[in-house]
Amino acid sequence: MKKKTAILALLVAVTMAGTLLFTGCGDSQPVEEEDPIITLNTITGEEFEEGLPARPVQVSIDNVGAAVPQSNISHADIVYEFPVEGEQTRLQAIFYSDIPEFFGPIRSVRPYFVDLADMYDTVFVAHGWSNAAKKKLQNGERPYINAMENEVDFYRVSDKPAPHNSYIEWETVKATIDEKGWWDEDNNIRGFKFMEKGKTNETAEECESVSFVYKGNACEFTYDPETELYTRTVKGAPYIDKETGENITVSNVLVQKITSEVLDEKGRLSIDMMQGGDAYLFTKGTVVKGTWNQKNLHNTTIFKDSNDKQFRLSKGKSWVEVMDQTCTMTY
């Protein structure tokens, strides 16, 4: 019995020795992990390990009466406010790094919204269009989803009256993009320049608030030094996201001054998105004055200060007020 026990012990010892030799004296070898691939969002200046979609999604958002407050607009990387007919404004919300479950309320297209879509190479989602916008979309190469043409399920919510209640779910949009192969093209959005930590724009002047008065609308942005964000209000009242109940805040407010022309008896406007003009940047409690130009519709707008240097934005979300001659600004 002792002989069998000795042989068994010897076998165990040999096995353990072999195991130690194979594993490097009993220490498990660390598995080398690959460095994560960092993707830069050139619209917000933020970095992401998860990657970004092949292209952004642009949604034409209603901004009149019962449409406000809108749903999930706080998720947009950048929002443009444009003048439209009827002394109204309409929003173009561009979603890239943070796409919500649904969008709305959704309204129709104008030709200059399509120009914006070209600049950011977006998939364009809308409900309806003017004749000029319809022609521009149907004759162009812009991927779009429109409730008036595509067999896609838009739906109407019950707590808002028509036409201010058209919505669509992201899964529906995504399924259409997958089916059409719109993810397959590479997207190289030039985007904006951003400030390094502790830096400011050379020509910046202190300024803590700015207000805009369109013919049928008014809004304000007020800077909070603690959060380094601007809170948007409308005619002095809180401007919130319907789904969160929280105030809309952004890191930057850009102003793009343009001249519009009335096209027809309904007051529809013509806006040349390549005309250039005066520009302003409100960021970190300062204002920078300058100009904007658009060499072509396949890149985002270039904003430059009085020293001919590009505006440096703070990292984060932005709001752009496109102002025509009927709109005034005070800061």
Average pLDDT, the chain: 90
Q: What is the mean pLDDT of residues 255-273?
A: 94
Asked if residue 23 has pLDDT above 60, the reply is no
Which two three-digit tokens encode residue 322?
A: 């496109």
85: exposed, middle or buried (C-beta count within 10 Å: 0-12, 13-18, 19+)? middle
Q: pLDDT tens digit string along 239-261?
A: 999 999 999 999 999 999 999 99
Confidence class of residue 20 from pLDDT cuts 50, 70 and 90?
very low
Residues whose CB falls within 8 Å of the CB of residue 230, separated by 6 or more in sequence, listed in order: 221, 222, 223, 224, 249, 250, 251, 252, 253, 282, 319
Cα–Cα distances (Å) from 140 to 42, 80, 114, in that order, read 25, 22, 10
Which position has the token pair 């390549």?
274
Confidence class of residue 30 from pLDDT cuts 50, 70 and 90?
low
Q: What is the mean pLDDT of residues 207-226?
A: 96
Cβ–Cβ under 8 Å, residues 268 and 262: yes
What pLDDT shows up at residue 55?
Answer: 92
In sequence order, which ranges of the chain are alpha helices (DSSP H)? Answer: 2-23, 111-120, 131-139, 170-180
Q: pLDDT tens digit string along 164-205?
A: 999 999 999 999 999 999 987 666 788 999 998 878 899 999
What pLDDT shows up at residue 289?
Answer: 98
What pLDDT shows up at residue 51?
Answer: 82
**Alpha carbon 290 to its chain's center:** 23
Q: pLDDT tens digit string along 124-158?
A: 999 999 999 999 999 888 999 999 987 899 999 99
What are the two backbone dihedrals, phi and then psi, of residue 65, each rounded to the nearest 5 degrees?
50, -120
- Minimal CA–CA distance to 136: which of 101, 153, 108, 111? 111
What pLDDT shows up at residue 200?
Answer: 87
Which is it for the CA torsion 124, 130, 132, 134, positive or negative? Answer: positive
Q: What is the mean pLDDT of residues 90-98?
A: 97
Beta bridge partners of 91: 61, 81
What pLDDT shows up at residue 193?
Answer: 96
- The larger pLDDT score, comparing residue 214 to residue 8, is at 214
What pLDDT shows up at residue 6?
Answer: 44
Cβ–Cβ under 8 Å, residues 329 and 281: no
What pLDDT shows up at residue 14?
Answer: 42
What pLDDT shows up at residue 159?
Answer: 96
What pLDDT shows up at residue 29?
Answer: 61
Cβ–Cβ under 8 Å, residues 265 and 258: no
Q: pLDDT tens digit string along 32-66?
A: 666 677 889 999 999 998 788 889 999 999 999 99
